[in-house]
Amino acid sequence: MSQNSVRIEVNAQGQKRAIAPCEEPCPIERGMRIIGGKWKGSILWHLKDGPVRFNDLSRMLGGASKKMVNQRLKELEEQGLITRQVLSERPVAVSYQITDFGRSSLAVLELLKDWAIEHDI
């Protein structure tokens, strides 16, 4: 992984300026934009063991409203992290499954989970 050589320069008047600042979002910011939204990481984590129906997933997330869960699921589907399968039209029943791309985020989420546990946050 390459690192930018961003430095801070101080002029004679004590003013600071960045040398070679980031011109676009760094890889961490780009990754956080995808999996960093509220409930997204938890949704991916709950899908790691196989498909889960919408209502079951909503129950697993506890504090999230169904509207919020639905919104995050749509975002994750648009980003290619999960897939949606219609199980029946009447009554409407759908399930969600993590994709290979989504599964590739699980190692990061595991590290984040361990970090939060280690620091009691």
Q: Is residue 43 part of a domain?
A: yes
Classify residue 62 as left (phi > 0), alpha (psi -120 to 50) or beta: left
Better pLDDT: 58 or 4: 58
Q: Is residue 4 part of a domain?
A: no
Q: Is residue 111 part of a domain?
A: yes
pLDDT digits (tens, 9 = 90+) for 10-54: 999 999 988 877 778 888 889 999 999 899 999 999 999 999 999
Q: Is residue 51 part of a domain?
A: yes
Distance between CA atoms of 99 and 48, rounded to whole angstroms? 9
Confidence of residue 60 (pLDDT cuts 50, 70, 90): very high
Number of structural domains found in the chain: 1
Q: Is residue 14 part of a domain?
A: no
User: Whole domain around residue 49: which residue ranges?
Assistant: 28-118
CATH number of the domain encompassing residue 100? 1.10.10.10
Given a contact cutoff of 8 angstroms between Cβ atoms, the answer to whether 49 and 60 are in contact is no
Q: Is residue 5 part of a domain?
A: no
Average of per-residue pLDDT across 67-90: 97
